[in-house]
Amino acid sequence: MHRYFTDQRHEALRHRVRGFAESEVRPRIAEMEANRSVCHDLSRLIARQGWIGATVHRAYGGMGAGHVAKTLIIEELSRVSAAMGAMVQASQLGVAKIVHFGSEEQKKTWLPAIASGDCLPTIAVTEPESGGHVLGMSSTAVRDGDDYVLNGRKIYVGNSHVGDLHGVVVRTGEGSKGLSAFLVESDTPGFRVGEQQPAMGLHGFSFGELFFDNCRVPAANLLGREGDGLSVAYSSSVLYGRPNLTAVSLGIHQAVLDETTKFCTERQRYGKPLADLGNIKLKLGRIQSRLLLARLSAYHAVHLLDQGLPCDAELMNAKLVNVESALESARDAMDIHAACGLFTDRPVERFLRDAHHIFAPAGTSDIQLLRLGELALGRAQGDWSSRLADLLRLEPSEWPEEDEVPDEAPGMAPADPPVTVRTDGTTPTVPGQRTGPAHRHSWFARPR
């Protein structure tokens, strides 16, 4: 697989992410599982590695590494902890709206802070009454002078409790052209986050509720133009949400295979390992086969995305294949573990719980099949990978050279950027970082 879609730089990045996940994330899993609460400090530590900025252009301080690199980052984190893989994918999803629809001023203000890990973005679309039906939302934004006043409620927002900058799609008018998107800072008066609710899996990750009660947001925080909200929501879901969740499923799937083969090799039955039994080999073979197909579909889709080629269908199919196959393999793994898999001293039950969480976001499997059916009938709509190809295409000039080193000399801290002061005399949530000079980090830069 690696020889088709990744090169030496990708594999060096994979090695670094894997090492970090093993040394920094794995020791925290037991604590996250026991507490079932948001892991703020680990989320921030991961963000400071610069990986949230995988698809952010290097001119704004990002990695400029593209969607293949983003996929392997999420996969490797999810192989150890799907919760932390989900945390990264949710903030990388939050990047999309700014990359695709942000003004130059918005990009200069926010992307450097996101790339450095000082700002975690989210996207908030789903509502209690309308669910995944975007046009059914009822939250509103009303223009009032130089501001918009937001009212309403959003649910299932990834990184709700750790996010600094929420991309919120609300209604500013009627119909499909009556949706607009806004950037809302987490310290804005009138905004609050609901209490975290216990969930089946992804312990350590938050996906909660956001409330807006006469929340006043500057008109400058409008993404694109009034009426672009539907495009912001759909393009983010198709081009980032689906491949990101695909990568989480892929990481879980790899963990299922790794843990199950280890169990079958070590577990003895009448003096011989389980792995010697023919029926066990058949189940392991099915898991391995599914994983090979899932990996191929995942990396093929994001490879096309990096090339700026039409790939909406491939992105849908990759999400469908990876989610369904990871669930099937996790069930097979539970069958193989039998009673041993029911206890939390082994991670296989966690893999199954976590895999279920990836099913619904960015469209259930039925939604993917529905869209693929429309494609087969020649009725496909959207084609976001073509419409935004110029923003998605990974230019060769963005790729760091293999012998490139970090900008800062060893032992020297980067200069502090200037602090931004608003017209009302206040400073942003993440002072200074948002308008400071963008530092270009090599893919091979050591973690901070």
Determine the average pLDDT of the residues in 203-226.
97
**Backbone torsion region of residue 198, taken as left when φ is above 0, otherwise alpha when ψ lies between -120 and 50, otherwise beta:** beta
Query: How do residues 108-154 score in pLDDT, each as one tens digit?
Result: 999 999 999 999 999 999 999 998 899 999 999 999 999 999 999 99
One-character DSSP codes across 191-243: EEEPPPPP-SS-BTB-EEEEEEEEEEEEGGGEESSTT-HHHHHHHHIIIIIHH
Cβ neighbourhood burial of 132 (10 Å; 0-12, 13-18, 19+) = middle
Burial 401-421 (b: 16+ CB within 10 A, else e): eeeeeeeeeeeeeeeebeebe
Amino acid at 91: S
**Spatial distance between the Cα atoms of 117 and 103, rounded to a whole number of angstroms:** 21
Query: How do residues 342-368 score in pLDDT, each as one tens digit?
Result: 999 999 999 999 999 999 999 999 999
Q: Residue 186 in 3-state DSSP?
A: coil
| Residue 300: both structure tokens together | 């093929």
Average pLDDT of the chain, as a whole number = 90
Higher-scoring residue by pLDDT: 427, 281: 281
The predicted structure's pLDDT at residue 398: 58
**Spatial distance between the Cα atoms of 136 and 130, rounded to a whole number of angstroms:** 5
Determine the average pLDDT of the residues in 423-444.
42
The predicted structure's pLDDT at residue 58: 95
pLDDT band for position 399 (50/70/90)?
Answer: low
Nearest to 172 by CA among 147, 146, 145, 150: 150
One-character DSSP codes across 413-437: PPPPPPPP--TTS---SSTTTTTSP
The predicted structure's pLDDT at residue 411: 33
Judge whether residue 418 has pLDDT over 60: no
| Residue 339: both structure tokens together | 């009673």
Judge whether residue 413 has pLDDT over 70: no
